Amino acid sequence: MLKEMNIKILLLYASLFLFTRCSTKTTVQVLRHPLIQFDYNNNISWTDNSYLFEPPVQVVVYPADTLLPGKIYTRFSLQATGRDSKGNTLQLNLLFDASDPTQLIGSYKPAYTSGNGLSQVELFNLQNNALADYGLCPNDTNSILVIQRQSEAESLIAGNFQVNLCNVRDSSLKILITNGIFTDITY
């Protein structure tokens, strides 16, 4: 019995010696796959090929009530270019404003709050000769951009959007963007 106990102790020491002498390094790499995509007019899908965030700038936004003062926001401008399922090259511009440029999580709408607002959404068809230009419809209350996640350390955001756009020359021509998502976008 004593011999068995000595063998167990010896095995325990040997195991501890081996485990403490073997140093293993584990490296973890997080791969990011930025993506911006949406559907429009119920049956056409679009995915970005590339995107660019312009450097943020400060802007003053004035409320509809002219007796109230303007408010300073930081404007973020995201520009993405890609192709739709019909082969058209489209450019999407999302301009949104935040009163605290370090805290972007929230809902952005054309009707500004004290914290944020959706300044403009534009969609250009870069393939047709007229360069069709669509922007937020006047008096729109249904368009929304939602930033659901933010990593300040990596300057990444993710979220979704849905917007109603009108042709800038003929407001009766409309585009409804649905199922808009963006993931791992560096700002």
End-to-end CA distance of the chain: 68
Domain boundaries, the chain: 28-186
Q: Which two tokens stand for residue 29?
A: 């790499």
Banded pLDDT at 3 (limits 50, 70, 90): low
Strands annotated E in the chain: 35-40, 44-61, 71-84, 89-98, 106-108, 116-125, 133-136, 144-151, 156-167, 174-186
Residue 109 in this model has a pLDDT that exceeds 90:
yes
**pTM of the predicted model, to two decimals?**
0.80
Residue 123 in this model has a pLDDT that exceeds 90:
yes
Banded pLDDT at 180 (limits 50, 70, 90): very high
Q: What is the pLDDT of residues 39-69, one digit of tens each?
A: 999 899 999 999 999 999 999 999 888 898 9
